[in-house]
Amino acid sequence: MQICSGGFHLTSPRQQTSKSLKFLWERSSIWWITTTLQTVKSKNLQDITTYLNSTLQATIGEEVHLEWQNLDQLLVQFWNTYLICPHVVNVVRNGGKDIRDCVLSLLLELTKRGLVNLVGINW
């Protein structure tokens, strides 16, 4: 399993054999998740999980919205190519808000296809 946070990119040899990738999302920009996934060459990959905190705002700028669209398209490609259904975990901290509707609207194509496994946990 590889865990990526912030802007950390996979460069280790384990990338070639990793079965699980977990991303710890900490800010509205998610370009680094898409960039990291584009470098994945593992045929063993079975799981992609992104942990989001409840600070994601329902209204985000156009640039960040485009980043989410790119991630959405890439995750659809992972489904079509490798049958990997992405997991999104909504981490609600100290009474924070549930961002389920926001995430589903940002990952629109995955949502249309019923491919988002969105789970909420309290922290």
* Range 53-67 average pLDDT: 73
Q: What is the mean pLDDT of the chain?
A: 77
In this prediction, residue 1 has a pLDDT band, given cuts at 50, 70 and 90, of very low
Amino acid at 115: L
Q: Considering its fold, how many domains does the chain have in total?
A: 1
Please give the residue range of the domain that contains residue 13.
2-122
The string of pLDDT tens digits covering residues 10-31 is 444 444 467 888 888 776 678 8
Q: Which residues contact 54 (CB under 8 A, 6 or more apart)?
A: 90, 91, 92, 93, 96, 97, 98, 99
Instruction: To the nearest 10°, report the CA torsion of 74, 114, 18, 38.
Output: 0
